Amino acid sequence: MSKLSLAVEVAGLRLRSPLMNAAGVLGMSPPILKRVYDSGAGAVVTKSIGPVPRTGHSNPTLVRVSCGALNAMGLPNPGAEYFVDEVRALKEMGVPVVASFFGGSVEEFAEVASTLSEAGADALELNASCPNVQEELGMLASDAGNVEKVTAAVREETRLPLFVKLSPNVTDIKEIAAAAERGGADAITAVNTLKGMAIDIDFRRPILTNVTGGLSGPAVKPVALRCVWEVAEAVEVPVIGCGGVTTWEDAVEYLLAGASALEIGTAVMTHGFEVYGRVNEGIRRYLEENGFSGIKEVVGLAHQIGEEQDSRADRYSIRV
Amino acid sequence: MHIKSEKNRTVELTDIVSECRDISSLLFRDEETRGAKPGQYLMVWLPGVDEVPMSVSAIDMDGLSRITVREVGEMTVRLNGLSPGDRVGLRGPFGNGYTVQGDKPLFVAGGSGAASLMPLVEEMHRQGTTPTFVLGARSADMLLFVDRLEETLGENLVVSTDDGSRGYSGYASGYIAKLMEEDVFDMVYTCGPELMMAKVYQSAREHGLPIQASLERYVKCAVGLCGNCAIGPYRVCKDGPVFDADMLSEVRDEFGVSQMDASGRVTRVEH
């Protein structure tokens, strides 16, 4: 019997597996990303690329915390022009490439998107959670108007599938997701890291050079899963889940919540590159054992029951 | 790896010992470091300055562990300027470490490379193997651990200096090429400047010898996540820092040639 296929189609992009690495994880150089692909990912996501080279923050840039990690790398990247060759190298190796990118202004977002499209990327992921944008944009991901404006500007520059990656650090992620969709996003990636910090009690000061950082790993999974759930209800375009996926059970939860594909990052720290193959196998077994013929059949399934639960919750809630 | 060792903690320095010109050892008590393997490293943090990878140069020597620091920039000058009672932050030990192998191993260290190899020499010596050790430096006053090595290895220690002020005059890598002709070894361990290690690797290859070399790259996360220390398909922080012959062969286009800077741009390996 041939193995059940894990192939998915996300925003016109056909992938052999729903798994990718999360942006910023292992995305610096083609041979390492090739290793992610060889480990079972359907595509790889590059480090977020900006218009000019950035060295990022100085160390410490990572703190290990219970059930995850805090990082403040500071978007180190060699710049879009330089990265063109890296994208080409990956394409020559036969690896599907999602180029993550950011800019400091609407124009810069559009310009970097254009450069990476011409380089031959298969899709783009707009990093809307960028802490580095000019005052013009403020914290991009928390302003629906700006998210729509930037997405629309990028949309004009590229015909590639465009993912917009959102931050969980917002009051209402549904509103932001809808804005990205209006701007022309083909998929929403939910979510980037949760803002957090760690303090050393002997030195009595923050550990990260940047003071605050992004929390990732199992610690954020329930929050990220809820974000995926909400985004899936708010938009028509596919959702790509990201946040603490470590086991195949986590992955299935995300699929049921409405994710069509998944990004895995921090689990590489605890489970190595093998995590991609292991999660693939687990998803396959789950589908087979439960009589499904493909991933598409389980995407968003939990929402049907969710509706019943919502109405029951209404019934028992106290009315004021 | 157990998460406890990966977490940030601070230790109080019990002593700072000058080893030779520009190199000092920092001594401290740390439960996690006591469990280190030879060749593993710690991330050492000085608030407001930097956090850098440092080889463990003594594991549980009378209850104390050490890192050994050569002054090459602000962070290392500040570390060597610390006093007993001062604190440093630690994460780790991290990395794969050396694998104990061979009955007749050859060690080649240059610069501050002996820092990472010393615990391995001591472990092998305890197990009854006395390796041949070629210790190279620019001049006699820069020979790291020369006394500690002489005490352990006796005449199996061979010294070479670039300026000829002690021992063989010339590069350690030149001397070992000669040594491999004269004697039969079954494993080569090397740590030091990358251009030296690249030559040692070349010699080992010519003689069909297995090798373990400890590499250095710009390490940020130390847990295999960010990819900044990549060489070929490997992360020096997690898959390394010790590379065997197969791994070195796979990264031969970059080993001794190029490395990534903090932004991910490729630069030349200068020494």
Tell me the domain boundaries of chain A: 8-316
The CATH number given to whatever domain includes residue B200 is: 3.40.50.80
**Alpha carbon distance A87, A89 (integer Å):** 5
Contact (CB<8Å) A76/B233: no
Contacts of A290 (CB under 8 A, 6+ apart): none
Contact (CB<8Å) B226/A31: no
Residues of A assigned a catalytic role: 130
Q: Is residue A24 a contact partner of residue A265, using CB atoms and an 8 Å limit?
A: yes
B260 in reach of chain A (CB within 8 A) = yes
Q: Tokens at residue B208, please?
A: 């069909």
Is ipTM strictly over 0.90? yes
B267 in reach of chain A (CB within 8 A) = no
Name the residue facing A28 among B7, B47, B230 (closest C-beta).
B230
Predicted model pTM: 0.94
For residues B84 and B124, membership in a common domain is answered with no
Q: Is residue B75 a contact partner of residue B54, using CB atoms and an 8 Å limit?
A: no
B87 in reach of chain A (CB within 8 A) = yes
For residues B159 and B213, membership in a common domain is answered with yes
Characterize A142-167 residue by residue with b for buried, 16 or more Cβ atoms within 10 angstroms of its Cβ, and e for exposed. Answer: bbbebbbbbbbbbbebbebbbbbbbb
The CATH number given to whatever domain includes residue B55 is: 2.40.30.10
**Alpha carbon distance B243, B256 (integer Å):** 13
**Alpha carbon distance B227, A28 (integer Å):** 6
A56 in reach of chain B (CB within 8 A) = yes
Q: Which residue of B has its CA nearest to A64?
A: B7
Element containing residue B178 per DSSP (H, E): helix B172-182
For residues B137 and B55, membership in a common domain is answered with no
Does B139 reside within a domain?
yes
**Alpha carbon distance A29, A242 (integer Å):** 21
Residues in B 2-41 with any Cβ partner in A closer than 8 A: 3, 6-8, 10
Q: Chain B residues with CB inside 8 Å of A271's CB?
A: none
Contact (CB<8Å) A203/B223: no
- For β-strands B23-28 and B41-46, DSSP reports them as unpaired
**Alpha carbon distance B135, B108 (integer Å):** 6
Among B69, B94, B119, identify where a domain stops. B94
Q: Chain A residues with CB inside 8 Å of B221's CB?
A: 61-62, 69, 71, 73, 269
Domain count across chain B: 2
Does B174 reside within a domain?
yes
At residue B256, does pLDDT exceed 90?
yes
For residues B161 and B69, membership in a common domain is answered with no
Q: Tell me the average pLDDT across B51-56.
A: 98
- pLDDT given at position A129: 82
**Maximal C-alpha separation, chain B:** 51
For residues B145 and B261, membership in a common domain is answered with yes
The torsion angles phi and psi of A247, rounded to 5 degrees, stand at -120, 170
Contacts of A54 (CB under 8 A, 6+ apart): A74, A75, A76, A77, A79, B263
- Give the percent of chain B with pLDDT over 90: 93
For residues B207 and B126, membership in a common domain is answered with yes
Task: Give the CATH number of domain A8-316.
Answer: 3.20.20.70
Place of tokens 């200096």: B161
For residues B192 and B149, membership in a common domain is answered with yes
- Give the percent of chain A with pLDDT over 70: 92
Does B197 reside within a domain?
yes
B228 in reach of chain A (CB within 8 A) = yes
d(CA A4, nearest CA chain B) in Å:
29
- For β-strands B23-28 and B9-20, DSSP reports them as antiparallel
Domain of residue B130 covers 105-268
Name the residue facing A78 among B220, B235, B265 (closest C-beta).
B265
CA distances to A139, A160, A279, B27, B145 from A149, rounded to whole Å, are: 14, 18, 36, 57, 62
Among B67, B94, B121, identify where a domain stops. B94
Per-residue pLDDT of A161-209, as tens digits, reads 999 999 999 999 999 999 999 999 999 999 999 999 999 999 999 999 9
Per-residue pLDDT of B167-190, as tens digits, reads 999 999 889 988 998 889 999 999
Per-residue pLDDT of B9-23, as tens digits, reads 999 999 999 999 999
B86 band by pLDDT with thresholds 50, 70 and 90: very high
For residues B147 and B221, membership in a common domain is answered with yes
- pLDDT given at position A141: 80
d(CA B252, nearest CA chain A) in Å:
13
Q: Which residue of A has its CA nearest to B261?
A: A55
Q: Chain A residues with CB inside 8 Å of B45's CB?
A: 59-60, 207
Q: Chain B residues with CB inside 8 Å of A60's CB?
A: 8, 43, 45, 51, 89
Q: Tell me the average pLDDT across B231-254.
A: 97
For residues B141 and B258, membership in a common domain is answered with yes
Per-residue pLDDT of B192-213, as tens digits, reads 999 999 999 999 999 999 999 9
Label residue A15 left, alpha or beta by phi (over 0 means left) and psi (-120 to 50 means alpha).
beta
B47 in reach of chain A (CB within 8 A) = yes
Residue B150 carries which side chain, given as an amino acid letter? Answer: E
- pLDDT given at position A311: 58
Q: What is the pLDDT along chain A (320 residues), one digit of tens a residue?
A: 578 999 999 999 999 999 999 999 998 899 999 999 999 999 999 999 999 999 999 999 999 999 999 999 999 999 999 999 999 999 999 999 999 999 989 999 999 999 999 999 999 999 998 665 555 566 688 899 999 999 999 999 999 999 999 999 999 999 999 999 999 999 999 999 999 999 999 999 999 999 999 999 999 999 999 999 999 999 999 999 999 999 999 999 999 999 999 999 999 999 999 999 999 999 999 999 999 999 999 999 999 875 666 555 555 555 44
Q: Tell me the average pLDDT across B250-256.
A: 96
Inter-chain Cβ pairs, chain A and chain B, closer than 8 A: 116
Q: Chain A residues with CB inside 8 Å of B5's CB?
A: none
Q: Is residue A161 a contact partner of residue A11, using CB atoms and an 8 Å limit?
A: yes
Q: Tokens at residue A172, please?
A: 């209402």
**Alpha carbon distance B229, B217 (integer Å):** 5
Does B100 reside within a domain?
no
Q: Is residue B136 a contact partner of residue B108, using CB atoms and an 8 Å limit?
A: yes
For residues B246 and B122, membership in a common domain is answered with yes
- pLDDT given at position A320: 45
Q: Chain A residues with CB inside 8 Å of B267's CB?
A: none
Per-residue pLDDT of B96-154, as tens digits, reads 999 999 999 999 999 999 999 999 999 999 999 999 999 999 999 999 999 999 999 99
Q: Residue A239: CA atoms inside 13 Å, Cβ hemisphere, count?
A: 31
Q: How far is CA B37 from the centre of its chain?
A: 12
For residues B150 and B259, membership in a common domain is answered with yes
For residues B31 and B69, membership in a common domain is answered with yes
Among B94, B115, B146, identify where a domain stops. B94
